[in-house]
Amino acid sequence: MLIQNVPPPPPTNIPHNALAGPVLPQIPIFEWNGLAILGEAPGRQEAISGVPFSGPAGELLDTLLSRVDIERHETLVLNPFLYQPVWTPLDNGTRRNNDISNFFTKDAAEGNTKIHDGALFRSAYAKNSNAHDLRYCWTVLNHVKPRAILALGATALWFLTGHDKISEHRGNVLKTPMLDDAPVIPSYHPAYALYRNADQEILNTIIADIALVKPFLAQ
């Protein structure tokens, strides 16, 4: 199965809170296994390379996929947000990289309340200035119609289902209002495992969740 004629993103001004991008979906060149892997937003390495999941978290993802005999180059890999978020200054004088909260707002006047009928991500709406990214991701998924979607991290889970707590939903097969027949399997983002010093229990959990997609790809 091949992916053909994926629509390009519509012309748009770069959002004011974006450092670099857009980082477009990575599409299998040859055979597609029917799996779409969804993250959150590009980090620094992804913004430089233009390839989603190409930094340390991407290297870990490749390793975890191989544990269940899924080839990264046969999957569709993309993020709901196409741009790298800005740095966020912290009270102690340091700063935090790739802060997804910069794409959200608690001000309904600045937020897109139509997404998931107003479903919030950690008590905030997606900003109107970033909603075009989300619409493009929906367009791609509807175009390719994946057999299964692996949602890595709370942002991907929220985007697909309106929920935002991985710990409550991982290990389950969910539905998305975007696609009638594509099951959503949520799990922790590989970056979370790296943040926790590659905790083996977390890694085993992600591997177990990834394994849940296999029966759907065999159909």
CA angle centred on 129, ends 148 and 24, rounded to 5°:
40
Tokens 């779409």 found at: 36
Using a 10 angstrom Cβ sphere, with 0-12 exposed, 13-18 middle and 19 or more buried, the burial of residue 173 is middle
Residue 15 has pLDDT above 70, yes or no: no
pLDDT tens digit sequence for 101-133? 889 999 989 998 887 777 899 999 999 888 889
What confidence score (pLDDT) does residue 150 get? 98
SS3 call for 138: helix
pLDDT tens digit sequence for 192-208? 999 888 789 999 999 99
pLDDT class of 94 with cuts at 50, 70, 90: low
Residue 219 has pLDDT above 90, yes or no: no
Question: What six digits make up the tokens of 70?
Answer: 């899924």
8 A C-beta contact, residue 77 and residue 52: yes
pLDDT class of 81 with cuts at 50, 70, 90: very high
Please choose, from the candidates 63, 27, 59, 23, the residue with its C-alpha nearest in 3D space to the C-alpha of residue 41.
23
8 A C-beta contact, residue 42 and residue 77: no
Mean pLDDT over 136-152 rounds to: 96
What confidence score (pLDDT) does residue 155 get? 95
Amino acid at 133: D
Q: Give me the sheet containing 35-38, strands edge to edge.
A: 76-78, 35-38, 148-152, 179-187, 174-176
Q: Check residue 121 and report its DSSP letter.
A: B
For residues 19 and 84, what is the distance between their CA atoms, to the nearest angstrom?
Answer: 6
DSSP characters over 190-217 = HHHHHHTTS-HHHHHHHHHHHHTTHHHH
Mean pLDDT over 41-55 rounds to: 90
What confidence score (pLDDT) does residue 100 get? 87
For residues 191 and 53, what is the distance between their CA atoms, to the nearest angstrom?
Answer: 10
Residue 154 has pLDDT above 80, yes or no: yes
Residue 17 has pLDDT above 60, yes or no: no
pTM above 0.75, yes or no: yes
For residues 86 and 18, what is the distance between their CA atoms, to the nearest angstrom?
Answer: 6
Beta strands in 45-117 (DSSP E): 76-78, 88-89, 95-96, 104-105
pLDDT class of 1 with cuts at 50, 70, 90: confident
Domain borders along the chain are 35-85+130-217
Mean pLDDT over 209-214 rounds to: 97
User: Which CATH class for the 35-85+130-217 domain?
Assistant: alpha beta
What is the Cβ-side half-sphere exposure of residue 131, based on CA atoms within 13 angstroms? 14
Mean pLDDT over 128-143 rounds to: 92
